[in-house]
Structure 1
Amino acid sequence: MTKRFVQIGGVCRIVAGELNVKKMKSQMKAAGNALRAVLRGVFGEGKPADRILSGFFRENRQYGSRDRQFVSESVYALLRNWGILRRFLPEERRAELESGTIRIGRAELDALLFAALYLEGMNLPAADLLAKELGIPWPKPDPDHPSPFLAKAEALGRAFGTKLCFTDRDFVPEWVFSLLPGDFPAERFLADLRRRPPMWLRLQSPDVDRIAAELRSCGTKLLRQARIPNALGIVNPKVNLYTLESFRRGEFEVQDLASQCIGLVAAPKPGERWLDTCAGAGGKTLELAELMKRSGTVVACDVRAYKLDDLRARARRAGFPNIMTRAWDGKPFRGKQAGQYDGVLVDAPCSCSGVWRRNPDGRWTLSPEAVGEAAELQKKILESAATAVRPGGVLVYATCSLFPRENAEVVEAFLAAHEEFQLEVFAHPLTGEPCGGMLQIYSFDGDCDSMFVARMRRRSGGEEEA
């Protein structure tokens, strides 16, 4: 297998021999087919990209692990940079594609694929091959541009025969900024949207060093969080983590660092009785049960009862004795269930704007109307869930949203209607600094997702009478 190095436009790229070219062409064809399926599913059917991609691989089992990696990296590179790439399309084609009418040719797909790979600086031999086949000159960024990334985007435009200027605001729809707070750190947040996030693990074993050593032996680079010793970040994992013995023994779960902070704010104590009302697949349920040192009880419920199947399997794998599951109709708790829990967690369904870095397609399928609808649903869920909190107990409200309408405004409306609840000060899990009862975690706080959490305490009977 022969290789030679070519210096073009200040970028050193590897150009592979004939065997590599054949392999790359096969991978690029697979990536193109996956891109077509993802664009159709995301814009035409409103499905999440990760679910579409999983279905694509199930239907195309002939692809090996390296092929799947190339396809996945290509798809997410395109989605992360869609705010830039969409501007290279004629306006009518862009509107047609984003309305769900997907008629996109091979050359157009290849051009988008080349642009995505070039912008992210990944798989450059494949990008070089695409550029040659499409007759696109290799882009030469302006070395004096204040933003190296935007310089690449504008150089790409020139290679495509256009003169476009870009800003970081291109990475999200313009309407988003009208729903963000005035002091929102847009520059830092938007810069994060261009980068792939790490994968965070939450260890369910006290033997952190042994598990870390196992992960490093697989060629994995680890990140550590100073204040959360059982949180390990993994950058570009080189192995399928679900095949490791430590995972099979239930010694770790994949859970983003910001998500882990929600359980730490809840701070359940051993022997208590907690309720996780929107448990879903149960990541936070498992965390609560672990923080309680596997004593007491965590009852997990969800209006989508089928979601709890995953939680039950995860709890069995790790041997949790203190987790129960129960269906919930979303209505207030009455009778024996009313006011019986030391703590209630409401991890409410939301716009998911805080996980756009991980799920970049969500930026382009969300609407401002959907944010308002989510806020109304969140208010109803919080009202219903609060009836389960005992006097003196804790109520924790969380979302993975950036919008105050889904966060502080929901909490403030609830508190205005329920004088028996009040905000309770807690420490920021990542810094130790005191928070006045509400906290917005941003991606740059810990190289993680963005999440909101509020901690409230229900006054005891004596306090209410006073």
Structure 2
Amino acid sequence: MSKNLLVIDSRQLAFEALQKIEQGQAYTDIALARILSNRKISPRDRGLISQLVYGVVRHKRSLNVLIDNFGKKKAQQQPPKLRIILYLGLYQLGYLNQIPDSAAVNTSVELAKANGLSKLAGVVNGVLRNYIRQVSKANHLASPILKLPKDPVQRLGVLYSFPDWIVETWLQQLSLEETEQLLAWFNQTPSVDLRVNILKKSLEEVESAFAEAGIAVSRIPYLPQALRLTGGNGAIDQLPGYREGWWTVQDGSAQLVTHFLDPQPGESIIDACAAPGGKTTHIAELLGDRGTIWACDRSKKRLQKVRANAARLQLNSIQIQPAGDSRDLIDLPRQCDRLLLDVPCSGLGTLHKRPDIRWRQTPEKILQLSLLQQELLSAAATRVKPQGVLVYATCSINSQENEKVVESFLGSHPNWSIAVPDTESIVNNFDMARGWVKVYPHRYNMDGFFLVKFRKNSAGRIK
């Protein structure tokens, strides 16, 4: 098989994954995993396929504008297969400097022919070559090729490929300059963070094991168990110490949540939305595996992942609760010392890892989520002892799911108040101006998260 054919095959697999995504049959990560599974593909080609699929999904609005500019028909008037092929060609030309223009054009033309669009191969060639003629790649994002609107919301939406309502959401919380920084951050390729299992190995020991294997890692500020992979790493389960349970994959922000909970050895703790178990196992590690952690989730299938993660990390303090959320904890002890409620949310803090979200979420869906979040929080509050702690967390930076939920809860629960961490807390390295932590990704270089700690006061709210 020729080298050129291998390149075309990579585009073909990316094309097939994008078809599933565009048809709403799978999210990006699932569609990509299915395409790559059980295939002998070189690491280089796997990387290219992943880059193409994630890149096209992230930049779809910008790519649609380019098709509008250079095609005889608007993007939404193009046949779906042709539109995806044009996405792939324009993404390579505009965003991947390592691919020669000729390769991007020729492979796109061949992709059209291989997928029953021979009669439209000329359209592909014409659109892509028109693009090449009219724009300098070195300056493509700053050039007028995207015909950016004057309205600041629409301008940022087209330039960074986000729906206007998301841009408006960030502009209600941040300045125009910071909003642009946030949008740019979300279009980066995500890093992979690890959490070292301190019951098995120290951070330094895992760091050394990776260095001996020639794998580059760096530490993450303020997080004592965190390492970030900084280079090519291959399959996660082939890295040093994976099978031995030395570490697990977990973003820095998610690690911060458990430090905020601050579990103490011997305590009884409920993780009310536990799957797939990252925070549950972190609680067990910080407890020294001495205490009881009740792992709950509505999904029985996802609870199996909690069990598998606990087994690999060799943790024994975790009790798997039959499927149910904080409204269904009938079989648990009535009250616990601490409860973690990492609620279902929009995921708007993870748009770099889950690019579909920007196109699938709507303000209406988020409003419905916020009502569910309030219901879960009220139910969870009944499960905490007097003077006990409840941590509410989301991987969203949308005020509708965060500050407004907190204000509603405090307004209807006078025996609860916001608890301030002690001065030595890791969390104090983050902005806590109003008593809660809001992790903006562009400021801290990690997923967007919101955290607040409540304390139950038996005699009413502490002033």
Q: TM-score, normalised by structure 1?
A: 0.83
Q: Is the counterpart of residue 301 in structure 1 residue 299 in structure 2?
A: no
Query: Is the alpha carbon distance of 1:464 and 1:423 closer, same or farther for their aligned partners in structure 2, counting shifts above 3 Å?
Result: closer
Q: Is the counterpart of residue 84 in structure 1 residue 70 in structure 2?
A: no
Aligned to 1:441: 439
Shift of 1:331: 5.7
Structure 2 distance, partners of 1:338, 1:214, is 42
Aligned to 2:391: 396
Structure 1 distance, partners of 2:8, 2:330, is 64
Q: Is the counterpart of residue 150 in structure 1 residue 150 in structure 2?
A: no
Query: Is the alpha carbon distance of 1:79 and 1:430 closer, same or farther for their aligned partners in structure 2, counting shifts above 3 Å?
Result: farther
Aligned to 1:131: 105
User: Which has the larger displacement, 211-220 or 182-191?
Assistant: 211-220
Structure 1 distance, partners of 2:171, 2:368, is 19
Query: Is the alpha carbon distance of 1:207 and 1:139 closer, same or farther for their aligned partners in structure 2, counting shifts above 3 Å?
Result: farther
Aligned to 2:119: none
Query: Is the alpha carbon distance of 1:458 and 1:164 closer, same or farther for their aligned partners in structure 2, counting shifts above 3 Å?
Result: closer
Structure 2 distance, partners of 1:182, 1:216, is 44
Aligned to 1:36: 19
Whether contact under 8 Å (1:294, 1:320) holds in the other structure is: yes
Aligned to 2:112: none
Q: Is the counterpart of residue 199 in structure 1 residue 192 in structure 2?
A: yes
Structure 2 distance, partners of 1:85, 1:215, is 39
Structure 2 distance, partners of 1:240, 1:87, is 36
Aligned to 1:104: 81
Shift of 1:65: 3.6
Whether contact under 8 Å (2:431, 2:438) holds in the other structure is: no
Whether contact under 8 Å (2:186, 2:351) holds in the other structure is: yes
Q: Unaligned regions of 5+ residues in structure 1, if any?
A: 1-17, 158-162
Secondary structure of the structure 2 residue equivalent to 1:302: coil
Give a deviation string over 1:185-213, Cα, whole Å, max 9, x none: 31220120221121111110342223223
Query: Is the alpha carbon distance of 1:338 and 1:311 closer, same or farther for their aligned partners in structure 2, counting shifts above 3 Å?
Result: closer
Secondary structure of the structure 2 residue equivalent to 1:124: coil
Aligned to 2:379: 384
Shift of 1:295: 0.9
Shift of 1:217: 4.1
Query: Is the alpha carbon distance of 1:275 and 1:334 closer, same or farther for their aligned partners in structure 2, counting shifts above 3 Å?
Result: closer
Shift of 1:383: 0.9
Aligned to 2:164: 174
Alignment-mate amino acid for residue 73 of structure 1:
Q
Alignment-mate amino acid for residue 36 of structure 1:
Q
Give a deviation string over 1:209-260, Cα, whole Å, max 9, x none: 2322332344433231232132011134332121234010111110011111
Shift of 1:432: 5.6
Query: Is the alpha carbon distance of 1:313 and 1:138 closer, same or farther for their aligned partners in structure 2, counting shifts above 3 Å?
Result: farther
Q: TM-score, normalised by structure 2?
A: 0.83
Q: Is the counterpart of residue 183 in structure 1 residue 183 in structure 2?
A: no
Shift of 1:93: 5.7
Whether contact under 8 Å (1:332, 1:387) holds in the other structure is: no
Aligned to 2:94: 119
Whether contact under 8 Å (1:168, 1:191) holds in the other structure is: no
Q: Is the counterpart of residue 57 in structure 1 residue 36 in structure 2?
A: yes
Equivalent residues, number: 425
Query: Is the alpha carbon distance of 1:395 and 1:317 closer, same or farther for their aligned partners in structure 2, counting shifts above 3 Å?
Result: same
Query: Is the alpha carbon distance of 1:151 and 1:312 closer, same or farther for their aligned partners in structure 2, counting shifts above 3 Å?
Result: same
Q: Is the counterpart of residue 264 in structure 1 residue 259 in structure 2?
A: yes
Structure 1 distance, partners of 2:237, 2:322, is 28
Structure 1 distance, partners of 2:134, 2:48, is 22
Alignment RMSD (CA, Å)? 2.9
Q: Unaligned regions of 5+ residues in structure 2, if any?
A: 110-124
Q: Is the counterpart of residue 451 in structure 1 residue 449 in structure 2?
A: yes
1:231-246 mapped onto 2 (5 Å cutoff): 231-246=226-241
Shift of 1:49: 1.2
Q: 1:316 is matched with which residue: 303, 311, 319?
A: 311
